[in-house]
Structure 1
């Protein structure tokens, strides 16, 4: 059953509802995490757990997403960094999926499976059934992305994504809208209808963002510029 996402006039009351806090800057060092860009599209940065564990001076990183590249218990040892974990991210293979879904963590967990292994829909369904959130990269094959979205579009856990460019961010947004409306996801990925995204009413944009939790990017400034040029930030946005 599809969810009707009403299209309205381009001048909506909240032109930033679709992209506010959407972009999650990927930070490879503590210094990068301390100097993340500040814009309407800025969401919590993504920082490796090993980076946080290596901090030896008192630092406050605020709200962050932690990528688990070490045992979560190691984060509790000799901790100098302070932060609030919004979500955890973890990359898994088919043989480590069950272990990941059984992790006990104080914040929600997003699982990024290897979509080249096994049946995509079965893998994503297993993640959703475990009350975890699936994640995927925008560079995956369109068919695999469509299969993921077919499962998560109406699941309560939502999903997160990764993108290498602002153009991939637009493709993910368009595909999410298509999945919620029951439209052609593959077409939306190949040719995002930016006009339709701009025309979404605020309640429809909010519906999209309850499903799409965030998009991890290496260059949040560049992705922000693409969204601005596309008209998704409204006049005068920074």
Structure 2
């Protein structure tokens, strides 16, 4: 599987990507709130599209209001757009077009429909979002869809434990290990031992993890040995 060019990433790299390199996204109200110097684990920050009144100096994820019209093409585009919707609005979102890839979180989807919703989003060319709060079986079924999709997925978690669980679970989904066990008891040692090709494959699926404080989560992951190479 290769990373789609519209995500703004090269299809190949001279150096292997670290496991948490550019993994963690923070959410900011304005461009002025975005840290001037991103750390190695910092992914493009999330900023409301309505606050992007000028071209950003760095890559940005633009969050859309689901009730607003689709954005018009401009002289620049974000790494991706992102929106949150309800199940009742999913059909409209599936037909939604934007001038950059679109990640979608469905707020009220229950565990039994999580995988089917992810499948519908990937079939439409959108990037499914996995929010914290779903059960282990639902996460495993979700990842069984994403392991065979070309879109990748994004996630929201509360802390480093949540990020570690998704890293472990995604690795397990790609390698045939027990995904449910990886969610409940992720093994940092196994992740650190991944060969560069496996790390790249994992990160082609897990595009970014949204957290409240990327710096704190990065430090917590570094303590567990999950540092960028």
For the criterion TM > 0.5, the same-fold answer is yes
C-alpha distance in structure 1 between counterparts of 2:111 and 2:50, whole Å: 27
Q: Which has the larger radius of gyration?
A: 1
Are residue 167 (structure 1) and residue 156 (structure 2) matched? Answer: no
Secondary structure, in 3 states, of the residue corresponding to 2:62?
Answer: strand
Q: Which runs of no fewer than 5 residues in structure 2 stay unpaired?
A: 1-14
Are residue 43 (structure 1) and residue 43 (structure 2) matched? Answer: yes
Q: Which stretches of structure 1, 4 residues or more, deviate above 3 A after TM superposition?
A: none
Are residue 71 (structure 1) and residue 68 (structure 2) matched? Answer: yes
Count residues with an aligned counterpart. 213
Moved more, 155-164 or 141-150: 141-150
List per-residue Cα deviations over 1:46-96 (Å, max 9, x = no partner): 1112333xx5xx5634210011126255x66xx9xx964001111121111
Structure with greater strand percent: 1
C-alpha distance in structure 1 between counterparts of 2:80 and 2:172, whole Å: 26
Determine the structure 2 residue equivalent to 1:218.
212
Determine the structure 1 residue equivalent to 2:178.
184
Q: 1:197 to 1:173 in 2, by over 3 A?
A: same
Q: 1:164 to 1:95 in 2, by over 3 A?
A: same
C-alpha distance in structure 2 between counterparts of 1:21 and 1:201, whole Å: 18
Determine the structure 2 residue equivalent to 1:141.
135
Q: Report deviation, 1:118.
A: 6.2
Alignment of 1:120-131 (within 5 A): 120-131=114-125
C-alpha distance in structure 1 between counterparts of 2:112 and 2:88, whole Å: 10
C-alpha distance in structure 2 between counterparts of 1:208 and 1:233, whole Å: 15
Determine the structure 1 residue equivalent to 2:58.
62
Secondary structure, in 3 states, of the residue corresponding to 2:18?
Answer: coil
Q: What do you get for the CA RMSD once the two structures are aligned? A: 2.4
Determine the structure 2 residue equivalent to 1:95.
88
